[in-house]
Amino acid sequence: MHKSFLMPIYSFEAGVKESSRLLGLKGAGLVRMTAMKLPVPQGFIITTEVCEKFFEAGLRLPDGLMNEVKMAIRELELQVGLKYGDPYNPLLVSVRSGSSISMPGVMATILNVGLNQETVAGLASQKKSKSFAWDCYRRFVHTLTQTVLDIDETVLLKICGEPKVQDVDGLQKIVQSLKDVWKIKTGKAFPEDPYRQLELSISAVLKSWSSRQATEYRKFSGIPPEMANGTAVIIMRMVFGNLGNTSMTGIAFTRSPESGEKKLYGEYLINRQGEELVSGRSIPSQIETLASEFPNVETRLRDITKTLEEQLKQPQQIEFTVEENDLYLLQTRPAEMSAIANVKASVDLCHEGLIDKTTALSRIDPAALEQMIYPSVEHEAHAKPIALGIGASPGSTSGIAVFDLMRAKEMAGKGEQIILVRDEVRPEDAYAFIYSAGVLTLRGGKTSHAIVVARGMGKPCVVGCSQIFRGLEGQNHSFRSQYVINEGQKITIDGTTGKVYLGEIKSTSTKITKELMELLQWANTEKNIEIRGNADTPDDAALAKRYGAEGIGLCRTETMFTEQDMGNTFKRMILTDDTNERKLMLLELNIRQKSVFRNILRQMQNLPVALRLLDAPLHEFLPREEDLISEIEGIMSRPDPDNQLGREKEQVLRRVRELKESNPMLGHRGVRVGISYPEIYESQINAICEAAAELKQNGIAVHPQILVPQVSMLQELKAIRGIFENVKKAVESKYKFGLNIEFGSMIEVVRSCLIADKISTCVDFISFGTNDLTQAVFSFSREDAESKFLAAYIDQNIISINPFQTIDEEGVGMLMKLATMQTRQTSKKVKIGICGEHGGDPASINFFSELGLDYISTSPRRIPIAILSAAQSSIKKRLPSTANSKT
Amino acid sequence: MHKSFLMPIYSFEAGVKESSRLLGLKGAGLVRMTAMKLPVPQGFIITTEVCEKFFEAGLRLPDGLMNEVKMAIRELELQVGLKYGDPYNPLLVSVRSGSSISMPGVMATILNVGLNQETVAGLASQKKSKSFAWDCYRRFVHTLTQTVLDIDETVLLKICGEPKVQDVDGLQKIVQSLKDVWKIKTGKAFPEDPYRQLELSISAVLKSWSSRQATEYRKFSGIPPEMANGTAVIIMRMVFGNLGNTSMTGIAFTRSPESGEKKLYGEYLINRQGEELVSGRSIPSQIETLASEFPNVETRLRDITKTLEEQLKQPQQIEFTVEENDLYLLQTRPAEMSAIANVKASVDLCHEGLIDKTTALSRIDPAALEQMIYPSVEHEAHAKPIALGIGASPGSTSGIAVFDLMRAKEMAGKGEQIILVRDEVRPEDAYAFIYSAGVLTLRGGKTSHAIVVARGMGKPCVVGCSQIFRGLEGQNHSFRSQYVINEGQKITIDGTTGKVYLGEIKSTSTKITKELMELLQWANTEKNIEIRGNADTPDDAALAKRYGAEGIGLCRTETMFTEQDMGNTFKRMILTDDTNERKLMLLELNIRQKSVFRNILRQMQNLPVALRLLDAPLHEFLPREEDLISEIEGIMSRPDPDNQLGREKEQVLRRVRELKESNPMLGHRGVRVGISYPEIYESQINAICEAAAELKQNGIAVHPQILVPQVSMLQELKAIRGIFENVKKAVESKYKFGLNIEFGSMIEVVRSCLIADKISTCVDFISFGTNDLTQAVFSFSREDAESKFLAAYIDQNIISINPFQTIDEEGVGMLMKLATMQTRQTSKKVKIGICGEHGGDPASINFFSELGLDYISTSPRRIPIAILSAAQSSIKKRLPSTANSKT
């Protein structure tokens, strides 16, 4: 592991020769600004290499480092004309962290290093203010004590008292108290030697790389270990924003981080040092007032930001200090901006000729587009949720809590905005979603059938919120320690974060800006994989098309059976075990389905529309066993029982029991139902063929595709293909023209990946179902995994990503590779797509694009994210070195 | 597809030059016997090639075939000295089927072909009996009509009346009626031309190859299509067993097909033709009486059977006819024998020097050994079951139906043999199995946890018997159309067939004969894969060892928690969410587990014992949600509710809900529990290490292996290995000596197959869990698949085997190959085994052996089957041409 040093110390004046990996982002920025002749206080950088050695040696600075530092300080003294540790004309420095990844605010910064009993007097005479000098000294001793000894700030404040800036006596007392704390804790006196101070400060900054906050920040931000190579340490001559009313400290953006508008944006604090702005303890002035109060500073700042953008080709966020009207830049870095701002700034920069389209596309984090697509709770940081569930369908909304399905309809009819609150939702509940602004469930996960429907409808959902109980009038809740929501109460839910709030909290609206539309146009030209939408209804299809879908990659035909009236017929169809009766029900359903198919196909015209045959487990559509039992008991306990009704209910109960499954995920569903009740698939296929024929007769060219779910064997597919060909032939001869309908298979069962070569002999296209595939590859039921153990797995570093969000390349991805290879070898004509939820995840899209799939299908609202991700993936392939998916 | 003929006609006298594939089994046997100079009536064979052409041409005989047949008939006339169709001295022939696979009784046979109004008179004068001749004629017309026109026999008998053999007038009338039927059905007269008769007979026999019975027989027997190449047609001079009291027809075995004893065995019917013996309409004489009644025939038969066995090296089953004291052989084929007989005969033949050990081993169908290992219902064919469930644990047993667990214990205490009848069984019920002779459940499948336990205990089980309702005194069953079993009734269940009987039906006992033990010794020397046993208790381990296990490949440690007292502590351990309380419970469980482990390890001494850490889903061990809810409702509805108790129950309910899973198969179990509650695995590992150490201290060398279930990621394994190494080190330093404990991973999750190269860096051995793997590869939950749709799949030829019984080589097998390859490439030291239920299935064992696995582990009673299968697989590899797994 031990390497010899490349360069432990790097002066700001050494020129732009080394990467931010060695210098840290902050250091590299300072070197660049120095090279641009901008007013940067002089200084030097201890490179990230030293950090590595420091941890390898067990938190010890490498031998000889302090000698190098001394030499660098000597050079600094020459540049500045002050002397470090000199009692009369002391040089003071700041010691800051700066890693190659942006980790704002989580590591240590120590200011005013070099002050002691002697130099504090020198500083006082230098700056002509004893109170200023002692305040600086107090700050230094405070920070060093807090950082080195790892004492909580509030504890320290309690011991030493609140400082008063003008009270020299008081400040001296506080310094003494702090030094006493140091003595008690370490057994030694607080260091007076400025180089010992410097050494301790450097160590403290390096050590803060592995602090709890820093580690958690990296984990939370998903920064991979190989990118986190430690922090550099920046040592810079102190400039003072707290030297009276012509001094200040401030932060400025070259463009608005909220809107992206090109204007100076930021805030400043007069007569303060930088950390006070960061801490948020004082109320700063907005930068708009700078022009009137400090016109020279404002002009200078405006010039500087212009130069910075021209040189760095990216909106910047700078920290500055004004010491007695002289402006200094302490840091510049790419501006942290909202998605909307980032999109606008990138498109504008392109129009301004500073960057090209490729760069503009590469700068937007696709996932951040969610902010523009879904509404969210305004001022989220200040709102207090009462409970945290699982965010199951993004977006936030408010409404009156309603528990009952019928009441929901009734209240919605009166124009009330309601939120449906249920113990759990079942497919037959889904029709009530139409009347609801959002859905909150106390049990269940985000993959249940009804929730998939809600997601399709774009209704915000929070599920599995087990801390909440539903309160009903007159009920005794004395046992409940959890939160009770009463019917009629106003609540707000946020399906992105999973948070539930009491009362109404305003939501931000969606922001599909013209810049976003322009960016997506560029992305469309760049990407080399088709993006389609998942849509179960004509409305969804229209939305998908509006967002740029090049087809429908997945229409779940079972969702239309959750609608109330079709649902009842469907239920009766399942309940009967008489094939003829079933066929009669199917005839009824056929007519309704045909009309839905027709509307979706008409919406998409010539674009491909993949209609997936019934997949949900049958029992999901049936009444509950417990309910039936108590109904029957009720009937039988009457003095004059209705035997006829009882017998009917018993019949239903028997059928419900027959259909009950222990693992519905792996049960009687998909093509298995199509094999055991061929009339069901036959009826659906007929509805598709008839819909296509009717449209064609009216001169509308359409392109339906039939998609068979849950296939694990070639024979299954052949059986259904046989039905398809017969039905198609019959419809064609009825209408006397040919139909262009393709036949495809879902690849969502492990076995189908293993025999993809055989499957591809029997289809026109295949579509990976990565949700089910992930479940089967891990043997994880998603619902159970996410509610039970996946959090512990991520916590304990067993796994770094949730494989249901980002595709597991090692396992699931390997199977997909195998299947894709086999398919391509067998047939050049078979199109390969993917329609799992991973289709909306940028990292997964990159993988699918690299795999060479033909299309990705995702929920309508995620289409922009998918288009942008696909474009970035294409750029990455084309220009491996320049493109970065994150800014 | 069209090939030119090789040889459409083959004379019996042509010598042993062609295979049974061309001649059929029967034809080949006749050729061999003719070559051996045994008394076979002369004849010839139309080869199976013709059958193929016949079906290719749409049920038409190939052009020119009848010319060849005529030439063959002419040759036959010369050999016999009679003339086909001659009115004075007519030659009659039989036309029989005979394919290359044994399909007894399902295809057509037509006797007495060549009779018409003229030849019947010739036959009468030739044999000096008009009634004999007309009876032959009647039989011929009857059979041809029935076969060609495909009329049900009973219908034909109703039309024509029962024949009386001596009544010539009556026989003539019947012949006329039959001819009338022919006329009505075909519009043509019944054929009088003997060659037309022959042509029709040949066609009818060929056509019967594709009859419903024949097709179903092949499907039922699992005969693959490539082996089923059609039937040959055998044309043979008629000899008459119905020519008076010195004539007869009979069947003889060279050894007893029941016991294997070397003696003449069989039965005969005097004055009858062969089909009457087959039809079972007359009561035959036992062959023991032949010596006294027909001493010459008996001596001749004895000589012949001796010759046959000496030449054919296999017990034979022959059909013979005696025509006026002259013995003729109509057929010989390998005898169909019981397993016990087959084992004895094969071992005896080897001792007699007729065959070698390899041949003896190859002749036994390993699956047939079940007959010797498990008891079954005596005279099964005659017993009438009331219901059919799923046979979940083989063997049959009788007892008093008991519904209640406590009553089961009580009655067993009084010495009653009881059968536990439950709606469904849960793990906590399993302790009651100890008191039960067998288990019958009305719901649930054969993979539920408790049933796995029952199988381990060797208790016969029938599950999912939904036609049965449990009757309780005083309850109204008026709705129930199904069978009611009342508590206290005697019933019999057969866990092999799934049948349930009322009353007590005797069971046959197991028959581990000395010949079987000898055969297994030979097999042990031959096989090149280790056979281990699955055993959860010391008793199971002892049984496994007795049956020849070379170790324990799987001990499911969770089964010991189903025992009543350990179960309660375990339940409390799960219910608490306080880690310290959990550790306390674990301490208690630790002591008990250690003692069980010690006993199992002591049992197996130095042989490897794989102890699998807890795998069952936690919620399986908890009270039911419905029960808790009604308990709480009960408590709260009291006038003076016990709030304390209520609160406790609510707490339990909350936990039960937390642990409830929608797909337990893919839920929080196995290593996932080990990761989220590390103290559970730590405690189990400690119990294993301590048990091993205590035994070692007492001078007993043992070889425990720790097996981690449900692994899908390397990190999971590393985390548990970390715990293992710490615990082992601690125990070693406590006892001051080293421990030899191996660490291994189950490969039962698809992902673990895909990363086997990584997994094998972290283990000493891996063990395929093919049950779970099959479920995940197909996305079939076994329970749901077997009860819901697998039958339809097999019926519709979507799938030919149940993949839970025989390994799916294409899918699951491919993953196993991948994992085995990766593992072998990564490490030569890692041992590879398999411990799924496929370990007891001969075809699967052959696959595992070919894959080069190191060991197979199966339930104790299936060990003999596994040993024999493994030996056969080794023979097949060594001598690809000679070995056949089936006789």
Which pLDDT score is estimated for A788? 79
- Measured between beta carbons, the chain B residues lying within 8 angstroms of A644 are none
Calculate mean pLDDT across residues B772-796: 87
**pLDDT tens per residue, range B258-289:** 889 999 998 999 998 877 776 666 788 889 89
Which pLDDT score is estimated for A279? 64
Which pLDDT score is estimated for B380? 72
The A residues from 689 to 718 touching B (CB cutoff 8 Å) are 710, 712-713, 715-716
Give the residue on B whose Cα is nearest the Cα of A650. Answer: B479
Is the CB of residue A335 less than 8 Å from the CB of residue A252?
Answer: no
Nearest to A799 among B657, B710, B715 (CB): B715
3-state secondary structure of A587: helix
The B residues from 257 to 316 touching A (CB cutoff 8 Å) are none
Residue B627 has pLDDT above 80, yes or no: no
Q: How confident is the model at residue B459 (pLDDT cuts 50, 70, 90)?
A: confident
Query: How near does any CA of chain A get to the CA of B807, in Å?
Result: 13
Q: How far is CA A469 from CA A481, A626, B650, in A?
A: 9, 21, 13
Which pLDDT score is estimated for B563? 65
d(CA B275, CA B147): 14
Q: How many CB atoms lie within 10 A of CB A738?
A: 11
d(CA B546, CA A539): 69
Low-confidence residues of chain A: pLDDT under 50: 1-4, 473-481, 883-887
The B residues from 432 to 451 touching A (CB cutoff 8 Å) are 443-445, 448
Angle between helices B168-186 and B153-160 (to 10 degrees): 120
A835 belongs to the catalytic site: yes
Among B633, B669, B750, the strongest candidate for a mutation testing the A interface, having the largest count of A CBs within 10 A, is B750
3-state secondary structure of A483: strand
Query: How near does any CA of chain A get to the CA of B788, in Å?
Result: 7
Give the residue on A whose Cα is nearest the Cα of B785. Answer: A667
What HEC string does A127-179 produce? Answer: HCCHHHHHHHHHHHHHHHHHHHHCCCHHHHHHHHCCCCCCCHHHHHHHHHHHH
d(CA B359, CA B368): 17
Which pLDDT score is estimated for A886? 39
Nearest to B675 among A665, A719, A792 (CB): A792
Query: A750 and B777: CB-CB below 8 Å?
Result: yes
Q: What is the mean pLDDT of chain B?
A: 89
Is the CB of residue B61 less than 8 Å from the CB of residue B190?
Answer: no
The one-letter amino acid at A614: L
d(CA B311, CA B334): 12
Residues of B with catalytic annotation? 449, 835
Poorest-pLDDT segment among A806-820, B521-535, B651-665: B651-665
- Measured between beta carbons, the chain B residues lying within 8 angstroms of A452 are none
Which pLDDT score is estimated for B884? 45
The A residues from 809 to 828 touching B (CB cutoff 8 Å) are 810-812, 814-815
Which pLDDT score is estimated for B883? 41
**Cα-to-chain-centroid distance, residue B645:** 53
Give the residue on A whose Cα is nearest the Cα of B814. Answer: A754
Which pLDDT score is estimated for B446? 66
Query: B781 and A675: CB-CB below 8 Å?
Result: no
Query: B662 and A783: CB-CB below 8 Å?
Result: yes
d(CA A110, CA A233): 11
Poorest-pLDDT segment among A444-458, B46-60, B175-189: A444-458
Query: A643 and B479: CB-CB below 8 Å?
Result: yes
Nearest to B799 among A659, A713, A749 (CB): A713
Query: How near does any CA of chain B get to the CA of A447, in Å?
Result: 11
The A residues from 457 to 476 touching B (CB cutoff 8 Å) are 466, 476
**pLDDT tens per residue, range A168-197:** 999 999 999 999 999 999 999 999 999 999
The A residues from 756 to 815 touching B (CB cutoff 8 Å) are 772, 775-781, 783-785, 788-789, 792-793, 796-799, 808, 810-812, 814-815
CB proximity list for B313: less than 8 A, separation 6 or greater: B349, B354, B355, B359
Q: Taking CA B203 as the corner, what is the angle to CA B197 and CA B205, rounded to the nearest 5 degrees?
A: 100
Is the CB of residue B884 less than 8 Å from the CB of residue B366?
Answer: no
Query: A784 and B647: CB-CB below 8 Å?
Result: no
Which pLDDT score is estimated for A427? 63
User: Is residue A644 within 8 angstroms of chain B, CB to CB?
Assistant: no
- Enumerate the H helices of A37-114 as residue ranges: 48-56, 65-80
**pLDDT tens per residue, range B344-380:** 999 999 999 999 999 999 999 998 898 888 888 887 7
CA nearest B692: which of B586, B570, B606? B606
Nearest to B814 among A754, A778, A780 (CB): A754
Is the CB of residue A483 less than 8 Å from the CB of residue A469?
Answer: yes
d(CA A32, CA A158): 42
